[in-house]
Structures are given as C-alpha cells and as structure tokens.
C-alpha cells in the first residue's frame, strides 16, 4: 500500500507490505493469481501527488501495475477459470478484478512477460512514438536514449526494421553491448563524458552529420545534446524524462531551443491514451516481427516477489534494468525468490499481499 | 556596410555609412530609388557570424532588407521605369537590382509599408504560424507574446478572425493599450511582474483555465510560463526568440518540458522558406481582410533615413517599435527626417548611401 508521496527519491517507508484476505469474486468479478507484474517509469508520476498526466495513486491502497495472471475463480462466464489475463491490479499476489478490466490473452506462444514488454505498454509506446510522432523513415538518422530500456530497445529495433541508421545511449557497458547486439549502428555509455561529445563521436562513427529523429526517454543533458545536432525538419519524440522524475526541484531545460526554429524542427510529447486506435496495427505487426525473429524481447526479472516489487521499481528508476523490468509474483517453485504461501481452494479466500 | 559581427549587443561601430556611385543598370538590371525599408529581428542572426538558419550577411558589403522602391532606370522591359517594386536591396537609398529579384507591386491601394508588414514577411510569418503550425481554430485560447510587434499584432488579429480567445503580452503600457484596441481579450505588460502570474491573471480575466496555443516570439520566461498552463494537445509555434538574440551566452531553457509529454503538446519551429506555397492563399486572404477593414496594419516609422537605419534596427530589437518597424529612405519633402540628396537624371548615376 502506498503510504506517502515522496518528492525526491522514494524510500522504503513510502509503502507498506500488508496481508489482507481476498474473498470470492462477486458477480462481474474474477479472482486472479498474478504471475508477473510490470514496474514502469510513469509510475513515479502517479506516486507523487502532482496532477500531471495521470491520476495519482490513492494513498493507503494498493497501487496499480500492468500484470499478467491466471483466473482462479470467476463470477463472469466470459472470463472462465484458467484464463490467462492481463489487468492493472498488480502489487499483489492475488486480486479481485472486474471482468471488464481483464483482457484475455489468446496468443499462448508468448512468454507472460512479453505481454508486459514488446506486446504491452512499452512496446506500444515505442510503436506510436516511431510511427506516429517521429514518423521514422528509411534513411533517417535516429538517436534513442535509454536504448536498453523497455521502450528504447523496442524503438531501436523498430527504427532498424524501418531502414534507419540508429545510435543508442545507455548507462553501463553491458547495456551498450546489448544495444549493439540489438542492431544499433553506434552506441555509447553516457557516463563516459559529456553527452554532446559522445553523440558527435557516435555520429562520426556512422557517417552522420545530423539527426533526423531523437527519441527522448530521459530529457536533461541528452535532450540539449540532441537539439545541438538536429537536421532540418527533425522530429523529437518526447516520451519521458527519467532524468527528472526523482528530482525534487525543476531542472533547467535545454538552452538551445532556438535551434527548433532554425531547423524547423518539431518536438512533440505523447501518451498512449490518444493512440488506442493503433493497437490492432501495433499488435499485428509486432506479433509478426516476433514470429519471424526480427524483433528480440528483452526483460529483466527482479526477484523477491511482491515483497521485492518496490525495490524493483526503484532499481528500474536507477537504471538497473535492461529491457522490460518485471517482477514475478507467483510462488517460485524453487522457493528462492518468492515467499511460499498457502493458496486457498477455488472457493476459499486466498491471502493477498501488497507492499 | 557591415564592418564587424557583434556577439552581445550590436554597437554603432559595427556598421559604416559610405557614399558610393550607383551607375546605370546593366542588361537585366534596374535602378531603384528606395522609398522604405524594413528592419526585422531575424537580421540579428544574419549579422552575427553563426551559421544558423540563414546565410550571414557578408562583411564590407551593404546588408539586405526587404525594401519598396520606384524604378528610376531599367535595362529590362518587363520592369519599366516607374514600377513600384519590392526587393531585398535595402540599407541604401538607390540600388541596382537584378530584375529577377524584383516583384512588381500591382495593388496600388496599399501603403508601401504595408507590403513590408501585413502583406510582407511578418504578415506571412503570422499567417503560416497560425494556419499551418498552431492551426488556430474557433474556440482556442491563444497566447501571443510580443503582440504589438509586426508578427504578433497580425497573429493576434488572425486568431480573433478565426474565433479564438486571445491574450497578448508586450513591453509597455502603450503597447498593451494597442493590443486591446486590436481586439485582444486580455493583455499585459510583462514588466509588471513574473510572466507566469500575469499570464494566469489574464487567463482568469477571460475565463480560461489553459492555453491551446502559444505563439512564441520571445522565448525565455514567456515560454516557460506558457508551458506551465498548456491544455492537452496544445500547440506552441516557435517563431523567434528575441529575448536571446542579443545574449552572448546561452540562456537556460524552460524547466518544465515534461509538460509537453503530460499534455501531449507539440512545439514546432518554422521558417517561411518551407511555406512559400502558402503565398497565394495568404495574399488573397490578407488583401480581403484589409479591404473590408477586418485587419488593421500597424507600423512604426523610424526617422533619419538610411543614416538612421542602424539605430532603427537596434531600437526595434529593444522593443521601441509597435507593429512593423520601417525606415523611410527617400528624401522627406519636409526635409526633417532624411537628408536631402541630389537625384541624378534617368541616365546619370545616383549616389547610394549605405550605413
């Protein structure tokens, strides 16, 4: 349960793990045993109280997170027991979910975490950003920050599939190696110097003199460095600014926005909610790319189950995840990662743990 | 003639007024007696040496400026003597102009300065920014900075004609009064307090809770203040940033660009060169609005002729102009504003003075 709203960096005392009884579902509800949940950067905004792009999570309630689970009890025949479902009632092991808030997953060939990653919100964010906002085309020079992250690693691969030259940045040598493995033409670790110098070197490596697209996941120094070298008619897709999420005071913005005039460039923020009509084209294309092996899903599984989910969230914000950060919530058969809990029968209450 | 490239504020020693002999036009050229020239903010960039959006003016040559003049000698029968023409060879009293660089003006019902203002670059900039970049529609709440300037005063009026609610800002009580006269629903002098507070008060005055459009002519504090209060799907048209043109060091940008994500807003720079295909629709519509009195041209005429043009330019940058800043170049019949010069006959050389 969320107990307080941090301004700077969140701490352990902002949440509390509690045991509650999860009863049988009332009509129109199902009970779900959660298998895996997602931790995502946007959650930082909903934890803080500032009214920004999404409703804050209420205090003293379990938070929400995209989650995959198996239906263990159902009071709606359209979502029968045994269904694999996607819903938002994460941060708990068992959940009572309105059946209308469940999406029954039919492609059983995907790993559950894939529904949270390349086929989930981060994948669709990457898709919309590439196709509708940045409008990446063959021949574009594309720079993507946080390119080993859930969104960035997908952006990188979509851009390559679209015929672009791609430069990626990330925060560790391992991530840089992954970015190159995923097909980037150049990559750098932003700890190795001023971003503007590293970006210029990467551009030289690929023979580029400017950027047609910058897909921004971080803001701050990266954004200013990218604006320095945009080409005419460049597009900057603003997806998130992880560099500021844990900052209690506003950071100065890029000092070179006048370049947007000189280069007739467009900088545009976007949220998925405006692009839900893209879901079908997105799912079809991504499923095809996954099937033919053109797109590689990347996940990091954090251990500790629901009791470790908050640390997983903070670790993701700190850059300790590669690709999609997920937290398995079900009892680990090996008993190492998650606490073992007694599971009630189909009609008896389960325990729900929420931190 | 431009003698040096200032970094901070330009000074008198950056230019020199010289007398040169203007001969008869060679084939394909005409000689023009200039009536009035324009001074515009973009010239600051071309005076500085930085390669930005336009070629720097060469040193030790007369600079360029949109200018209206009368042909006094012609070696191209398509541009006969007596034609009223628009060209770029300003900062001089008489000019030899390639006939292909002349536009012969046919609507003799307009004042020469109107061709430089509402029907010229500033007017077309306003048109393109409103119609193609900000896409102002009926019901929009529009904020325009520098709203008593050549571009801003036209933006304000176009926005009102399109059915928007309009808030304007400017730098003096007289300008604020003019902005209201031109039809703005609210207006403020940005010297009266933090822009963010003044903007909020103006919004309250018109019953608006957010901005759908910000037409930015100044950058800096105005831009940050506008971003604070944008509505979902807001459009920010970046036209220029006069607040930084005379600044030798880069100024920090807005600290709240994350709002562009939360509000799914678009910020886009533009230059006229990409929108030359809009000329016909622009001229037709503006001419109609002028004819029916729906649009009011606003000029400031700086005195001193060519000898005062540099001071006029600096004064315009300092905000001492209302509407389009123009400099009459021809001899003043009253002899007060411009130096009287002997004009040669049709085939004899004239003097050309360039500062």
Q: Among residues B123, B95, B117, which one has the least CA distance to residue B33?
A: B95
- In angstroms, what is the C-alpha Rg of chain A? 21
Q: Coil, strand, or helix at residue B95?
A: strand
Nearest chain A Cα distance for residue B91, angstroms: 24
Say whether residue B266 is in contact with chain A using an 8 A CB cutoff: yes
Is residue B324 a contact partner of residue B297, using CB atoms and an 8 Å limit?
Answer: yes
Burial of B13 (0-12, 13-18, 19+ CB in 10 A): exposed
Say whether residue B278 is in contact with chain A using an 8 A CB cutoff: no
Contact check, Cβ <8 Å, A256/B250 = yes
Say whether residue B255 is in contact with chain A using an 8 A CB cutoff: yes
For A264, which of B244, B255, B274 is closest by C-beta distance?
Answer: B274
Q: B25: how many CB neighbours lie within 10 A of its CB?
A: 22
Nearest chain A Cα distance for residue B342, angstroms: 42
Say whether residue B219 is in contact with chain A using an 8 A CB cutoff: yes
Say whether residue A260 is in contact with chain B using an 8 A CB cutoff: yes
For A257, which of B219, B262, B264 is closest by C-beta distance?
Answer: B219
Nearest chain B Cα distance for residue A259, angstroms: 8
Q: What angle do CA B216, B275, B289 make, to 5 degrees?
A: 75
Say whether residue A20 is in contact with chain B using an 8 A CB cutoff: no
Q: What integer pLDDT is reported at residue B246 of this predicted model? A: 57
Res A340 pLDDT > 80: no
Fold held by A12-110+298-354? Quinone Oxidoreductase; Chain A, domain 1 (3.90.180)
Six-digit token pair at B297?
């041209």
**What average pLDDT does this structure show over A219-232?**
96
Q: What are the angstrom distances between the C-alpha of B124 and each of A61, A104, A349, B119, B132?
A: 55, 54, 70, 7, 11
Of the residues B267, B273, B275, the best mutation for testing chain A's interface (the one with the most A CB atoms within 10 Å of its CB) is B267
For residue B192, give every residue at least 6 positions away whose Cβ sits within 8 Å of its Cβ, in sequence order, or none: B198
Say whether residue A55 is in contact with chain B using an 8 A CB cutoff: no
Nearest chain A Cα distance for residue B274, angstroms: 9
Nearest chain B Cα distance for residue A56, angstroms: 13
Say whether residue A246 is in contact with chain B using an 8 A CB cutoff: no
Q: What integer pLDDT is reported at residue B340 of this predicted model? A: 29
pLDDT band at A87 (very low <50, low <70, confident <90, very high): very high
Say whether residue A257 is in contact with chain B using an 8 A CB cutoff: yes
**What average pLDDT does this structure show over A315-343?**
67
From the options 3.60.21.10, 3.40.50.720, 3.40.50.920, 2.60.40.10, give the CATH code of A121-291: 3.40.50.720
For A255, which of B240, B252, B259 is closest by C-beta distance?
Answer: B252
Contact check, Cβ <8 Å, B256/A257 = no
Say whether residue B171 is in contact with chain A using an 8 A CB cutoff: no
**What average pLDDT does this structure show over A45-54?**
75
Q: What integer pLDDT is reported at residue B287 of this predicted model? A: 87
Helix %, strand %, coil % for chain B, to 5?
35, 25, 45
Res A311 pLDDT > 90: yes
Q: Among residues A147, A158, A240, A249, which one has the least CA distance to residue A195?
A: A147
Contact check, Cβ <8 Å, A268/B266 = yes
Q: What integer pLDDT is reported at residue A355 of this predicted model? A: 28
Q: What are the angstrom distances between the C-alpha of A214 and each of A19, A157, A181, A222, A283?
A: 45, 14, 20, 10, 24
Contact check, Cβ <8 Å, A270/B263 = no
Contact check, Cβ <8 Å, B257/A238 = yes
Is residue A148 a contact partner of residue A178, using CB atoms and an 8 Å limit?
Answer: yes
For A267, which of B219, B223, B260 is closest by C-beta distance?
Answer: B260
Rounded CA gap, A75 and A246, in Å?
Answer: 41
Q: What integer pLDDT is reported at residue A111 of this predicted model? A: 82
Contact check, Cβ <8 Å, A223/B257 = yes
The top-scoring range by mean pLDDT among A120-134, A339-353, B330-344 is A120-134
Nearest chain A Cα distance for residue B183, angstroms: 28
**What average pLDDT does this structure show over A89-108?**
91
- Domain A12-110+298-354 shares a fold with domain A121-291: no
Of the residues B243, B269, B270, the best mutation for testing chain A's interface (the one with the most A CB atoms within 10 Å of its CB) is B269
Contacts of residue A271 in chain B, CB cutoff 8 Å? Answer: 261-262, 264
For B255, which of A224, A251, A265 is closest by C-beta distance?
Answer: A251
Mean pLDDT, 10 residues at a time, over chain B (355 residues)? 91 94 95 95 84 81 95 96 95 96 82 89 95 98 95 97 98 96 98 98 98 95 97 95 65 91 96 94 91 92 94 90 92 40 30 31
The domain ranges of chain B are 12-112+298-346, 121-291
What is the secondary structure of B36-67 as a DSSP string? EEE--TTHHHHHS---SSSPPPPTTS-----E
Is residue B96 a contact partner of residue B25, using CB atoms and an 8 Å limit?
Answer: yes
Contact check, Cβ <8 Å, A261/B239 = yes
Is residue A144 a contact partner of residue A168, using CB atoms and an 8 Å limit?
Answer: yes
Say whether residue A58 is in contact with chain B using an 8 A CB cutoff: no
Contacts of residue B274 in chain A, CB cutoff 8 Å? Answer: 233, 264
Say whether residue A258 is in contact with chain B using an 8 A CB cutoff: yes
pLDDT band at A333 (very low <50, low <70, confident <90, very high): very low
Q: Bigger pLDDT: A279 or B110?
A: A279
**What average pLDDT does this structure show over A292-309?**
93
From the options 3.90.180.10, 3.30.460.20, 3.30.70.20, 3.30.200.20, give the CATH code of B12-112+298-346: 3.90.180.10
Rounded CA gap, B152 and A87, in Å?
Answer: 49
Say whether residue A50 is in contact with chain B using an 8 A CB cutoff: no
For B253, which of A45, A255, A268 is closest by C-beta distance?
Answer: A255
For A53, which of B238, B257, B262 is closest by C-beta distance?
Answer: B262
Q: A55: how many CB neighbours lie within 10 A of its CB?
A: 9
Q: What angle do CA B236, B239, B242 make, to 5 degrees?
A: 115
Q: Coil, strand, or helix at residue B309?
A: helix
Contact check, Cβ <8 Å, A255/B254 = no
Say whether residue A193 is in contact with chain B using an 8 A CB cutoff: no
Res A50 pLDDT > 70: no
Contact check, Cβ <8 Å, A252/B257 = no
In percent, how much of chain A has pLDDT > 90?
A: 76
Least confident of A29-38, A114-123, A220-229, B181-190: A114-123
Rounded CA gap, A164 and A186, in Å?
Answer: 12
């Amino acid at each position: 349960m969320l107990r307080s709203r941090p301004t700077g960096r969140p701490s352990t005392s902002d949440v509390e793990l509690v045991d509650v009884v999860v009863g049988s579902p009332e009509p129109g509800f199902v009970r779900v045993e959660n298998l895996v949940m997602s931790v995502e950067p946007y959650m930082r905004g909903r934890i803080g109280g500032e009214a920004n792009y999404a409703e804050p999570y209420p205090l003293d309630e379990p938070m929400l997170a995209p989650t995959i689970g198996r239906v263990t009890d159902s009071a709606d025949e359209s979502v029968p027991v045994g269904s694999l479902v996607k819903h938002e009632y994460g941060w708990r092991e068992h959940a009572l979910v309105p059946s209308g808030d469940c999406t029954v997953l039919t492609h059983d060939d995907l790993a559950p975490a894939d529904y949270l990653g390349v086929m989930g919100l981060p994948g669709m964010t990457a898709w919309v950003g590439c196709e509708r906002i940045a409008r990446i085309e063959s021949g574009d020079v594309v720079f993507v920050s946080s390119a080993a992250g859930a969104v960035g690693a997908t952006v990188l691969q979509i851009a390559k599939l679209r015929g672009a030259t791609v430069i990626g940045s990330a925060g560790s040598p391992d991530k840089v190696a992954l970015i190159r493995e995923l097909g980037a033409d150049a990559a750098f670790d932003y700890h190795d110097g001023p971003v503007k110098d590293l970006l210029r070197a990467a551009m030289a490596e690929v023979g580029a003199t400017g950027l047609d697209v910058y897909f921004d996941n971080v803001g701050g120094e990266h954004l200013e460095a990218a604006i320095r070298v945009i080409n005419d008619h460049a597009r900057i897709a603003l997806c998130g600014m992880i560099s500021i999420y844990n900052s209690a005071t506003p950071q100065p913005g890029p000092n070179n926005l006048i370049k947007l005039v000189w280069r007739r460039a467009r900088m545009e923020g976007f949220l998925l909610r405006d692009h839900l009509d893209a879901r079908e084209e997105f799912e079809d294309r991504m499923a095809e790319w996954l099937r033919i092996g053109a797109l590689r899903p990347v996940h990091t599984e954090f251990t500790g189950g629901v009791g470790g989910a908050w640390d997983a969230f903070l670790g993701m914000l700190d850059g300790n995840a590669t690709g999609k950060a997920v937290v398995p919530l079900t009892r680990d058969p090996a008993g190492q990662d998650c606490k073992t809990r007694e599971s009630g029968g189909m009609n008896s209450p389960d325990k729900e743990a929420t931190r």
